[in-house]
Every structure is written in C-alpha cells, then in structure tokens.
Chain A
Amino acid sequence: MALTPPPKNWQAIPLGRDEKLWSLLIIVMITMMGLMTVGFVFVGNQNPPEEYRQIPTEDYRQYAIDGNDASGAVKTTIRGENALSLLSGVDAQGNGGDIYMQARQWNWLAPMTNFTANGIQIARGETYRLHLGSTDVLHGFELIGADFLVTIQVVPGYDYIVDFIPQETGIFRIICNEYCGAGHHTMFSFMEVVDV
C-alpha cells in the first residue's frame, strides 16, 4: 500500500508488462509530438514570429511614427474611422511593408506624424512586417473574425516584428486579449484586407 513502507526490495522489482507497454506508448507519443513541432518550424508556414528589437517603452511611439512615415502609408477612412493604408508589401529587396502599431491603455493605434489611425488597411497576398509594441503595460494582439485566429503578446520595451501574408479579404477585429486594466474590453481596432 502506498501509505505503508514499500517492499524492501522495491528497487529490484522489474516493471510488469502493462507498465512496459504503457511506457512504450508514452515514448512513441512524445517523440511524435516533438518531431512534429520541430519539423513544422522548417516545413510549416505558420510559426511564431522570431524577430524583435528592444526599444525603451517611452521611445516606442516616436519610433512607430517614424516607421509609419517612412513606409509610405497613407490616410484613409473605413466605416467612418481613421485608418492607415499600406497596399504594397515587402519588395524584392526586402524593404517596405512595415506597419507599426502602438498598444496602450486602452487603444490600438497606428500613429503617423500628421494623424493617428485606429485601424489598418492592407492588401491580400502581400507580405507585411507588422511591428507590435506597447507604451505602458502588457497587451495581447488577437485577430478575430477571419478564418485565421492569431494571438501575439505585446510587451513594453520590445518591438515584436510579425511577418505575415493576409490571405483573405474582409474587415476583421483586432482586440486586446491580455488583461490590461479597467478598460481592457474597450480596447479594439480593425484590419481591412482588400484586393488591389
């Protein structure tokens, strides 16, 4: 019994057939899972973004403004809301396609020198580099409404660079999915994907 001293020779008692079979199953399962996840890094098209830069929290807003200005984004209006539009993605030289979003209590913003957008407009099939950073506490980027659900942590002090290709047209919600204070549920934005 597990409540009393074990048999004196417990270390010498070999595993029974049941335990051996079960161990084999565990090993097979774990190995399969390990191989799948490591393999998917190299063959899969959906992996967590790996690129980041450390930016002091207080500098992120200006960094985002400069970045959006440089990427050639323009102002547009979608359903009565300001949006930042960038319809061309990364070019053959690996330049462009950068969109900077700033998360703060309790908005998602795409700031430029002349205006600050609430949402973004991008083109289907283009490759983008979406920069996510926070100017106060932790936030969570989550896209809902599209066929693809994605959730990324947004951390103050970092510019997290998400390379992605939107593959579905429509207008989707960007929400915050990390509790960030009393107005957490009022923090949302949108992403419109259009064909050009």
Chain B
Amino acid sequence: MSSITIDKENFRVCPQTSFRVHKPTEPLIIINAVMAILTLSTGGIAALLMGLHKSPGQAWTLLKSTTAYYRVVNIHGFNMLIFWVIWFEVALMYFVPTVLLNSPLFSTKMGWGAFATMLIGTLGLEYILIFGSPKNIVMFTAYHPLTAEPAFYMFYLIYAVGVLLAGANFFLTVYQAKKTGTYPHKSLPLVVYGVFVAVVIAVQAILNGAIVLSIGWLYSLGVLKHPVDADLWKQVFWGFGHSAQYINITATAAVWYTLIAISTGAKPLNEKFSRLAFLLYLVFTVPVATHHLIVDPAYSMPFKIINATILALGLAVPSLIHAFVIPGALEKQVRLQNPDDEEVTDSLFGWMRKLPWNEHPAIPAIIWSVFLFGVGGIIGSIQGTYQLNMITHNTLRINAHFHLTVVAGTTIAFMAIAYYVIELIPRRKILFGRLKSIQIHLYAIGLLLLSGGMFIAGVQGAPRRTATYQNYASNGFKLPAWNFGLWMLSVGAVFAVTAGVIFVVLIVGSLFFGEKLPKEGDWSSAIPGGDPEVLEEEHGDGLEAPGTLGLGVLFMILFAVFYIVTFLVLSQGWDIGRLTYP
C-alpha cells in the first residue's frame, strides 16, 4: 500500500466527518455554489412571473405584454436548465473528488480560469436575456433557423468552454489522486464514480452543443448563407439538450447516495447494482435524442422506434434502479439499527417513522425527490413512447414531466446537499434549525401542485410556451377546460417560489450570519488510507427492504396502468398515420 504524504499546510481535517479538505479548493467550491444560488434566484423570479401569468385569462399577471412573457420564459429556461444546475455541478465536481479522494484539486488556477470563463458567459448571456433585443427570445431550444443575435451564441459558447475546463480539472484530479496514491484503492467511492459518469456525459453533451451553437452563430453572423437541415440540427441539439438533463439525473443520483450516507450512514444495497446503474446512464444517454423528433418528418419509423422508444426505455432502467436502492438502503439501515424495535421489525413501513426527518433535511429531500422523480419518469416514459408522443408533444404535459424530474428530482436533492455543503466547507451552521426541513416540504408540495396543474391542462391540450390562450376563443370557438389545471399551476408556482426564497435566505444568511463551526479537526482522527474491508455475504432468508419493495410493486402497477390507459385513450382517437386507402 502506498503511503500518503500528509500536507498539513494545505489540508485541514473536518472535525465532523474526518475527511481531509483541501483548503485552496474551498473558495472555489463556495464561489461556484454562490453563482448557482444567484442564477437560481434569477430563474426563480422569472418562475414567479410566469406562474402568475399562466393563471386563466392572465388574471394574476404582473407582465405588461406577451413579449415580456416570452422574455421571462427565456430567462427562466436558461437560468434553471443551464446556469443553476451546471454551476452547482461544477461546485460538486470540485467538492466530491478532493474531499472523498483526500486529494488537492489538480489545478486551482485552472479552477479560477474556468470560473472566470463561465462568469463571462453567464453575465453576457444574462444581459442579453434580460435587457437584450426581443430577437434573442429563442427559448432554451433555440431551434434553427429561428436565430438570435451573434452575441447570444458567443456568450453561450464561452460558458461551455468554461464548463469543459472545469470538467477537465475534475478528470485530472481523479487521475492525480490515483497516480500519487492519495487514494490508494482500486475502485472509486460510488459517489465519485457517479459524478465521474456525469462529467463524461457532460463532455459529450457540450460537444454536441458546440456544433449546433456554432452553426447558429455562423448563420446569425451571415457567414452561413442558408440554414442547415432543421431536423438534423434539432437531432444534434437534443444530443446536447437531453444529455444535459442526464448530467443532472446522474449527479442527482450521486447526491442521493451522499445524502443517505451523511444522514443515516446507509450504504447502497449492493455496490455492483448501483455502479451498473451509473454505467447504464452512459450507455443509453449518448445515442438517445430522437424522442424529441417522434412527430417530426425526418427519420423513418424503425429509427424512431429503436432510438426514441426502445433505447429510451433502456434509459429508464438506471433511474428505476437508483430510485429503488435509495429508499431501500434507508430501510435496511433503520432495520439494522433497530433489531429489537417491534415498530420497525413487525411492520412494512414502520422504518419510515424512525428516519431523522427533522434533524436532517436530507430525509424529506430524498423521499420527495425520489417519489416525484419517479412520477416524472412515468410521465416521461409515456410521452417518449412512439405513438403516445402524438397526443403529448409540446403540450404542458411535457413541462409536467421535466418539472418533476429536473426540478423536483434534481433541485430538491441539490438544495438538501447545499445545506450540508454550507456546514462542511465554510463551516457555518444553517440558521433557524428545522426551517430547512420545512422548506423542502413546502417546495415539494408547490412542485406537486405546479406539475399536477401542468399535467391536467396538458392532457387536455394546453400548449406550452404560449403567452395567452384567449385568441383561440375568438369567433365562437370555445377553449377546452384548461382553467382548473392553470389555476393549480399558478398556486403551485407561488408555493414553490416561496420555498425557493426561504432556501436562498437560509443559504445566504447562514453563509454570513450562521454560527461558526470549528474548522480544524484532529489529524489523528483523519480517515486513514487503509485497505477497505472485505464484505461477507450476509443476505438472510428474508428481504432486506420489504417495505420499499412493496412500494416498488405499487409503483410498477401504477406505471403499467397509466401506460395502458394512455394507449386506450389514444386508440379512441381518429385514425391517423399508417392508413391503407380504400
């Protein structure tokens, strides 16, 4: 076993976790997380304005024009899907390998370089989105040949270069930790492995993005005289746009494993199972993008079926694995810790009551995040199905799907880990004790209402990204009964944004005014570099997580029923598609 050189100058031992923390990396983690919170706040203000504007007849709107609405949609999309998640993921890319591999960051200079590049990209793009010409309102999708001003593409690309730099720093840090022996073991910890997969997905996503953005840029500049094939552009765009969501999902799963470990000490049920799941994300994410083009003219039926539906079903597998393992691991841990408590041993769900709901925001966060992510996954699998896409594409139902996955799934998990990062890195105690757990509940309930409303209106055909529906009701036409869903959406948005404000106040307030926790732990308590244990097989006759399995069966039944019912609804429709003529 290689020995670890102890660099007491640049490291401290965390008194709470006994992990070694590389001091020069700490400000980088904090500044990237702060950028994440700032952009989340910007996106959140836009979310409130959109949510109120979506109320039936724009009853609650604060916006003066339809263009103002499209502008806030644009601001919301970029801040939430690009800035908030990626800034936070970069913070994780520095936090995870340095702390868990006992390693310094490969290069803090490169880290600051990446920060400066991403900052220029963010500020430039934010300026264009908020104050720029309405020509730049092209939405997150920015489908060619709808074209923004050249600066839009330029700042977007600058931001992407910064992210690539941060990604390179992550890979080099992992490589360095292995090479220099600060991490002397063969296999990476599961969480590092998960983040590793996320960064690989990020690199391929950004390369796809660079292609389509460069084309957009050249066309906008007039260098490219004619638009390229719009569907080919769209296909490559989703190689970026959809993969980018799988960076989020993979990072979310890694965060889930972190949260169960720090809140209860729970281990994954089986390392191999969880690692396989992470690997499957990589295998299936790269080729899958066509489910955005199911009702597009280009591409043949077999290509669409294989890429959009069969491979996309494969992509559901890793999420189903993680979503089972996470609650299952919590259940197993509670059962191991309470072998004599009848409330736990004699009931399927008694373990849930024993979880530290109030002490650890991780618990409500995991339960809500996994549950809502699962529901969002069901909706997503349905609308990604070849035929079912025809009754869901571009309706608010799509928004219901990704608000449940990316917002409820990823953002709730990220919010919870942010509370721990503040206590572990700047070492400030989060203010107001239990409020952080209440915040998670409030946010989740808001999202449930928001997404539920989107789903209900979307099932009846309410289109997304549309400033007003009133025009359709002209000349004696009546609108379908969208109002109930739209009210629900607006109320949900108010709840969620309120909880978002509490989150930002807690994080920023604690960063400045939280009780200072001791920074320097005892070096003798530092986690040694010794060999990991050899685990004996310890499966008994019974199940380790019967409650979770029961819930899983229920989930699958709901999934199947929902899937079949949607097909039944479709089959009541007009004949369309493969018709034989009379």
Contacts and interface: CB of A to CB of B under 8 A. Distances in A.
B222 interface: no
A144 B575 contact: no
B563 A36 contact: yes
B187 A6 contact: yes
Interface string B377-410: 0000100011101111111000000000000000
Contacts of B505: none
Interface stretch (A44-52, A69-77, A108-116): A44-52
Contacts of B577: 45-50, 162-164
Given A46-B390, A48-B387, A147-B572, A182 B187 contact: no
Given A4-B527, A166-B574, A145 B301 contact: no
Interface string B272-311: 1111000000000000000001111110110011000110
A67 to B, nearest CB: 16
B313 interface: yes
Nearest to A161: B297
Interface residues of A, number: 93
A26 B321 contact: yes
Interface string A8-32: 1111011111110111011001101
Contacts, number: 331
Name which of A3, A38, A91 has the most chain B CB atoms within 10 A of its CB.
A3
Contact of A177 (B261, B324, B463, B573): B463
B288 to A, nearest CB: 14
A87 interface: no
Contacts of A168: 574
A10 B535 contact: yes
Contacts of B67: 182
B258 A2 contact: yes
B535 A149 contact: no
Interface string B233-262: 010000000000000000000000110111
A162 B460 contact: no
Given A29-B556, A36-B567, A180 B395 contact: no
A105 to B, nearest CB: 9
Contacts of B6: none
A160 B293 CA distance: 13
A137 B298 CA distance: 15
A10 B272 contact: yes
Interface in B299-345: 300-301, 304-305, 309-310, 313-314, 316-317, 320-321, 324-325, 328
Contact of A3 (B189, B270, B317, B381): B189
A194 to B, nearest CB: 15
Contact of B395 (A11, A147, A177, A181): A177
Nearest to B139: A179
Contact of B393 (A17, A34, A140): A140
B539 interface: yes
Given A8-B533, A19-B273, A171-B477, A144 B472 contact: yes
Contact of A34 (B234, B257, B309): B309
Contacts of B466: 175, 177, 179, 184-185
B283 to A, nearest CB: 14
B535 A7 contact: yes
Contact of A48 (B266, B314, B390, B556): B390
A164 B574 contact: yes
A73 to B, nearest CB: 19
B321 to A, nearest CB: 7
A185 B467 contact: yes
A17 B531 contact: no
Given A4-B532, A18-B543, A34-B309, A150 B324 contact: no
Contacts of A81: 475
Contacts of B324: 19, 22
A46 B471 contact: no
B269 A46 contact: no
Given A48-B304, A188-B471, A152 B582 contact: no
A182 B394 contact: no
A47 to B, nearest CB: 3
B387 A47 contact: yes
Residue of A15, A46, A148 with highest tally of chain B CB at under 10 A: A46
Nearest to B19: A3
B227 A156 contact: yes
B227 A57 contact: yes
Contacts of B393: 140, 151-153, 177
B425 interface: no
Given A1-B261, A49-B576, A164-B574, A140 B463 contact: yes
Given A36-B563, A151-B390, A175-B466, 13 more contacts: A6-B271, A16-B270, A18-B543, A19-B325, A44-B570, A142-B394, A150-B391, A159-B297, A164-B574, A177-B466, A181-B137, A182-B66, A184-B70
Top 3 nearest A-B pairs (CB, nearest first) are: A47-B577, A52-B297, A7-B535
5 contacts: A13-B270, A18-B545, A25-B553, A137-B145, A167-B575
